[in-house]
C-alpha cells in the first residue's frame, strides 16, 4: 500500500468515526486499519493534524455541494451558501460531540491560523467572492482577503457561540449579519 493510499484510508476511517460522533483515537484507528500506531502517526501526523484534515474534508465537501446547489447570484449567493454551511456544521453529530467534549480544542483547531483549517476556509470564501465579483453581481467594499477573513470570523463566531457565550447556535443570526455585509 502506498503512503498516499494509507493516508487516504486513515482519513476516511477517521471521517466515519467523526460523523458517527465517536472520538478519534490514533490507536483505535491503527487497530481498525490493521496498522502500527507509528505508521498512522507517520501517515497523518498528530491527532490534532488528523482532526483538522477530517474537519476540512467535511467542510470542503459541504461548501462545494452548497456552491453547486445554490441558484442565487451575487451577495445573496454567498449569504445562502455560508448560512447553509453554518446550519450543516451546527447540526453535524460529529461536530456537536467534538465541540461538547473537546470545545477548547475544537475552537483552537478551527480558528487559529497555524492549525490549518482557518486559512483554507478563508481561501475558499475568498475564491467564491472573487468568482461572484467577476460576474459583476457582487461589490467588494474591501480587499478580497480582508473581506473573506471578516466573513469567516462571523461564521466562526456564530458556529461556536455556545462555547463563547453559552447561547444556543442560531443560523438565522449569522444569516442576518452576512446579509448586512454582503447584500446591498
Domain shared by 114 and 171, yes or no: yes
Query: Residue 23: how many CB atoms within 10 A of its CB?
Result: 13
The three-state DSSP-derived secondary structure of the chain is CCHHHHHHHHHHHHHHHHHCCCCCCHHHHHHHHCCCHHHHHHHHCCHHHHHHHHHHHHHHHHHHHHHHHCCCCHHHHHHHHHHHHHHHHHCCHHHHHHHHHCHHHHHHHHHCHHHCHHHHHHHHHHHHHHHHHHCCCCCCCCCHHHHHHHHHHHHHHHHCHHHHCCCCCCHHHHHHHHHHHHCC
pTM assigned to the model: 0.93
The 10s digit of each residue's pLDDT in 14-26 is: 999 999 999 999 9
Name the domain count of the chain: 2
Tens digits of per-residue pLDDT, 57-69?
A: 999 999 999 999 9
Q: For residues 12 and 7, what is the distance between their CA atoms, to the nearest angstrom?
A: 9
Q: Please choose, from the candidates 164, 182, 161, the residue with its C-alpha nearest in 3D space to the C-alpha of residue 173.
A: 161
Does one domain contain both 106 and 117? yes
168: CATH: 1.10.357
- 66 and 112 together in one domain: yes
**pLDDT digits over 135-158, tens only?**
999 998 889 999 999 999 999 999
Question: Tell me, what's the pLDDT at 3?
Answer: 76
The C-alpha cell that represents 1 in the structure block: 500500500
Residue 163's pLDDT is what?
Answer: 86
Residues 20, 63 within the same domain: no
Each residue of 78-115: pLDDT tens digit? 999 999 999 999 999 999 999 989 999 999 999 999 99
**117 & 155 share domain:** yes
Shared-domain flag, residues 65 and 54: yes
- Do residues 78 and 122 both lie within one domain? yes
For residues 23 and 55, state if they share a domain. Answer: no
Does residue 65 share a domain with residue 139? yes
Q: Are residues 51 and 41 in the same domain?
A: no
What is the domain extent for residue 140? 47-182
- pLDDT of 48 reads 97
Say yes or no: 94 and 18 in one domain: no
**96 and 163 housed in the same domain:** yes
Amino acid at each position: 500500500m502506498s503512503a498516499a493510499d494509507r493516508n487516504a484510508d486513515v482519513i476516511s476511517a477517521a471521517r466515519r468515526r467523526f460523523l458517527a460522533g465517536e472520538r478519534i483515537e490514533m490507536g483505535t484507528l491503527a487497530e481498525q486499519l490493521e496498522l502500527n500506531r507509528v505508521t498512522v502517526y507517520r501517515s497523518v501526523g498528530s491527532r490534532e493534524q488528523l482532526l483538522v484534515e477530517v474537519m476540512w474534508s467535511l467542510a470542503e465537501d459541504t461548501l462545494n455541494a452548497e456552491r453547486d446547489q445554490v441558484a442565487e447570484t451575487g451577495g445573496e449567493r454567498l449569504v445562502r451558501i455560508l448560512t447553509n454551511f453554518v446550519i450543516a456544521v451546527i447540526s453535524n453529530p460529529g461536530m456537536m460531540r467534538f465541540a461538547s467534549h473537546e470545545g477548547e480544542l475544537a475552537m483552537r483547531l478551527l480558528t487559529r491560523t497555524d492549525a490549518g483549517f482557518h486559512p483554507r476556509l478563508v481561501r475558499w470564501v475568498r475564491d467564491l467572492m472573487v468568482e461572484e465579483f467577476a460576474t459583476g453581481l457582487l461589490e467588494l467594499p474591501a480587499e478580497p482577503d480582508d473581506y473573506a477573513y471578516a466573513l469567516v470570523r462571523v461564521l466562526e463566531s456564530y458556529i461556536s457561540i455556545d462555547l463563547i457565550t453559552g447561547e444556543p447556535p442560531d443560523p438565522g443570526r449569522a444569516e442576518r449579519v452576512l446579509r448586512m455585509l454582503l447584500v446591498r
